A and B are shown apart, each in its own frame.
Chain A
């Protein structure tokens, strides 16, 4: 069966510090991978998606970047965090069947 992992579960970082969130998927090959963010009191917003290694599509301009160094690994990064980067970050995967499976999420607080 397929599983998706995210870490860390929670993170508190100062403004201006770097960020690296990791997502890995097990039990499947060549999945589509997604990063979403849910800011406080707001809906889920798609940030990035990837259809293969090294292939990243960005949905909104922002202070964040994404990379896919391996088939089942998706990384969300920032060189300098802003207060507005606080939120709940969710990774998801999908295959041809189109249903998306979400990870447990990382709650990021930028102080």
Chain B
């Protein structure tokens, strides 16, 4: 899996959009960008993933740059419950075969301030 770089921590005011950056400059053409988050003392939770087009679901939006070397996860209206460590992971999608596990880095600790 390609390596990702994320800021160790970020603050965001409640109700504002939280924008979490991720650099993945060595990403390969068949690798997807995945985002998970881990609330304290819980298991990670899948948020969203994408290949090259921007994606949106009920939790977040994922913006991937045209050269695919970086991406941004956007939580449009952050709440206190969004405080968690957010992991950006780059890996071959399942169509690439295999059941390999995820490689988690240190992620970004997002703290939502009231």
Q: Are A46 and B94 in contact (CB under 8 A)?
A: no
Are B43 and A92 in contact, with the CB atoms below 8 A? yes
Least Cβ–Cβ distance between B47 and chain A, in angstroms: 10
B94 touching A34, Cβ below 8 Å: no
A105 touching B101, Cβ below 8 Å: no
The number of residues on chain B lying at the interface, defined by a beta carbon within 8 Å of a beta carbon of chain A, is: 20
- Evaluate contact between A100 and B46: CB separation under 8 angstroms: yes
Q: Are A105 and B42 in contact (CB under 8 A)?
A: yes
Known: A90-B43, A92-B43, A105-B42. A100 touches B102 (CB 8 A): yes
A45 contacts which chain B residues (CB < 8 A)? 104
Q: Mark A15-34, 1 if CB is under 8 A from B, else 0.
A: 00000000000000000101
Contact of B99 among A49, A97, A102 (CB under 8 A): A49
Q: Does B50 contact A (CB under 8 A)?
A: no
**Cβ contact of B45, chosen from A36, A102, A105, cutoff 8 A:** A102
Chain B residues lying within 8 Å of A59, measured Cβ to Cβ, are 101
A94: Cβ under 8 A from any B Cβ: yes
Residues of B within 8 A of A (CB): 36, 38, 41-46, 49, 93-94, 99-107
